[in-house]
Amino acid sequence: MRRTVTRLLAMTALALPLILPATPATAAPTTPARQLADVIPAPVETRPDARGTFQISPLTVIRTAPGSVDAWQVGRQLADTLRPATGYPLPVLPVRATPLPEIALLIGGADSRVGQQGYQLDVTRRGVTIRANTPAGLFAGTQTLRQLLPADIESPQRQRTTWTVPGGRIVDYPRFSYRGAMLDLARHFHTVDEITAYVDLLSQYKINYLHLHLTDDQGWRIQIDSWPRLTSVGGGPGTGVDGVGPGYLTKADYKAVVAYAAARHITIIPEIDMPGHTNAAQSTYPELNCDGVAPPPRTDTAVGYSSLCINDELTYRFVEDVIRELAAITPGPFLHIGGDEAHATTDEDYRTFMQRVLPLVSKYGKRAYGWNEIMQADPPTDAVAQFWGTGTTNTDLAEAAARGNKVIMSPANKAYLDMKYDRNTRLGLSWAAYIEVSDAYGWDPATRVAGVGENAVLGVEAPLWSETLRSLDDIEYMAFPRLPAIAELGWSTTASHNWESFRTRLGQQAPRWRLQQVDFYPSPQVPWR
Ligand code: ACM
């Protein structure tokens, strides 16, 4: 459950010190000393310095790189995060020499290894300094700082806690540039508030892409002006699995989600699934069917029965309209065209379709991305394939990798967050596997599929399909604690991969999730605090 309070506070950032409650709440619980390495995803390098412990106080200021609006935004978000629990004013000011204790967010001057997404974090008795080459790197550093503070920092109410940060230096940067999550809005629609609440959680674990599965047999969830009944009918009352997941994003909603995510350094990737998984469109517009007859709407969970009409020019007018309108409201580089489970399309028709559609994605300035089946259509080498298989071989994918195509790893028996944890899990499916936390953590993206090595892997993604999910609570229960496992596989080095370390650090996250009202699965594999 969540949390309108947090959203409200975020919107009133600067006014906040004036409206803090006068009487603070509870006494400090004793918490075990945190170490610099008690972070998920595991940082690349930590050098603790016991003499350097810093304590945030009522006098602490947040200073940001002069002239950088983006750095100031990161500072403002950090202040929004730290103010409710500390009750401190934490003004956000441009950098200058000062005797005050400070948290400084600086562009430049970091260890050369940090690249475009990493950061260097130094903690001394005088303050905390985060240095990065980009605002995204600074933001990542602030998420680490958040985890280095006592868990009480996540409380929406003022706490009487000593706000110490362990001393030393962290140098940190990702193994893979792409660390994603996917949310299925088609099987059950999820609202803007639910999507943005998920974005808040993802950003804490340095996830930087959110893929939205916007269309499927059971519903169409994105406004397309040139085909208006897609949403009024295809996303309207009675759509979704069991007919109880109606709704859609207007273009204004979608833009709001894109902007909210961008402010947390997460890029939205829209998916229109085709040429299969299209019953919602085809039941709405008869002309999208080869026989001109609209099939009935479907609210069951069968797959593989629908196909756009491959040899009809109208199909490509439809697809181009959708791609054009969607590309125009998508600032990110990728447009996902699905391509999975097209069992009602012949192999030849599938290739014909993809060879017509792939150039349309480039025509509107986007890079094509699809489920691994698109590699059967010999796409150009800038196309990205999302591996969702359960095996460890895939000839088409290995050949594509050899040609230079990049791959996102989402093996369904490891990374699918909608799989049940075990046979007793109330939500979810089990066709790929039961996935306990150790299973989600226990694989390597660069050795999972033969012939698809480190250089071919762009990153990892944790998809969450919504056949059984209704609410934000349901989303949280399936994503936590497995999402942080996938996030660590995407960010941390293979040398740091260690189940004992991971499950200990995961257990330390629980008090934070409780304070954020995240409904997580209390796996028996994890020593929960
Ligand atoms: C998929 O799970 N059909 C990509």
Structure confidence by residue, pLDDT tens digits, 188-203: 999 999 999 999 999 9
Mean pLDDT over residues 318-339, rounded? 98
Paired sense of beta strands 127-132 and 119-124, if any: antiparallel
Where residue 282 sits, what CATH number does that domain have?
3.20.20.80
Residue 501, pLDDT score: 98
Is the shortest distance between the CB of 122 and ligand 1 below 6 Å? no
Q: Burial level of 426, CB count in 10 A (0-12/13-18/19+)?
A: exposed
Residue 287 has pLDDT above 60, yes or no: yes
Cα–chain center distance at 213: 13
Is 0.75 surpassed by the pTM of this model? Answer: yes
- Kindly state the percentage of the chain with pLDDT values over 90: 91
> Residue 3 corresponds to which tokens in the numbers above?
């949390």
Cα–chain center distance at 402: 28
For 425-448, write each residue's pLDDT tens digit. 999 999 999 999 999 999 999 999
Q: Is residue 95 part of a domain?
A: yes
Residue 211: closest CA among 149, 142, 270? 270
Q: Report how many domains make up the chain.
A: 2
Is the shortest distance between the CB of 371 and ligand 1 below 6 Å? yes
Residue 1, pLDDT score: 54
Residue 508, pLDDT score: 97
Mean pLDDT over residues 478-486, rounded? 98
325 and 426 in a single domain? The answer is yes
Q: Which domain-ending residue is among 138, 172, 206?
A: 172
Best of 183, 388, 467 for a ligand 1 pocket test (most atoms within 8 Å of beta carbon): 388
- Kindly state the percentage of the chain with pLDDT values over 70: 94
Q: Using pLDDT thresholds of 50, 70 and 90, give the confidence band for residue 67.
A: confident
CA 517 to CA 4: how far, in whole Å? 12
| Residue 23, phi-psi category: left (phi > 0), alpha (psi -120 to 50), beta (remainder) | beta
For 399-419, write each residue's pLDDT tens digit. 999 999 999 999 999 999 999
159 and 215 in a single domain? The answer is no
Q: Is residue 306 part of a domain?
A: yes
480 and 415 in a single domain? The answer is yes
Contact 197/261 with Cβ under 8 angstroms? Answer: no
Largest Cα separation within the chain, whole Å, is 77
90 and 122 in a single domain? The answer is yes
474 and 422 in a single domain? The answer is yes
Residue 278 has pLDDT above 90, yes or no: yes
Tell which atom from ligand 1 comes closest to the C-alpha of 416: 2
Residue 24, pLDDT score: 39
Lookup result for tokens 């906040």: 16
Tell which atom from ligand 1 comes closest to the C-alpha of 303: 3
Residue 20, pLDDT score: 37
Is the shortest distance between the CB of 216 and ligand 1 below 6 Å? no
The CA 341 to ligand 1 mean position distance, Å, reads 7
Q: Is residue 287 part of a domain?
A: yes
For 12-40, write each residue's pLDDT tens digit. 333 333 333 333 344 444 445 789 999 99
For residue 1, the one-letter residue type is M
Residue 256, pLDDT score: 98
145 and 182 in a single domain? The answer is no
Instruction: Report phi then psi at 56, rounded to 5.
Output: -70, 135
Residue 3 has pLDDT above 90, yes or no: no
Q: Is residue 271 part of a domain?
A: yes
Where residue 49 sits, what CATH number does that domain have?
3.30.379.10
The CA 93 to ligand 1 mean position distance, Å, reads 47
Residue 95, pLDDT score: 75
269 and 144 in a single domain? The answer is no
204 and 162 in a single domain? The answer is no
Q: Is residue 509 part of a domain?
A: no
Q: Which domain-ending residue is among 134, 151, 172?
A: 172
Q: Which domain-ending residue is among 127, 151, 172?
A: 172
Residue 33, pLDDT score: 74
Mean pLDDT over residues 63-90, rounded? 95
For 308-322, write each residue's pLDDT tens digit. 999 999 999 999 999
Residue 8 has pLDDT above 50, yes or no: no
Is the shortest distance between the CB of 418 and ligand 1 below 6 Å? no
Positions marked active-site: 341
Residue 2, pLDDT score: 52
| Structural domain harbouring 66 | 2-20+34-172
Best of 214, 271, 371, 413 for a ligand 1 pocket test (most atoms within 8 Å of beta carbon): 371
Question: What is the chain's Cα-based Rg?
Answer: 23
Q: Is residue 69 part of a domain?
A: yes
Q: Is residue 517 part of a domain?
A: no
Q: Is the omega angle on the peptide bond into residue 275 within 30 degrees of 0, that is, cis?
A: yes
Best of 218, 306, 341, 414 for a ligand 1 pocket test (most atoms within 8 Å of beta carbon): 341
114 and 190 in a single domain? The answer is no
E strands, 30-139, are 45-48, 54-56, 61-64, 92-94, 102-107, 119-124, 127-132
Residue 217, pLDDT score: 98
Average pLDDT across the chain, whole number: 94
283 and 396 in a single domain? The answer is yes
Residue 405, pLDDT score: 98
162 and 197 in a single domain? The answer is no
Mean pLDDT over residues 368-397, rounded? 97
Q: Is residue 445 part of a domain?
A: yes
Residue 9 has pLDDT above 50, yes or no: no
135 and 210 in a single domain? The answer is no
For 84-133, write each residue's pLDDT tens digit. 999 999 999 987 766 788 999 999 999 999 999 999 999 999 999 999 99
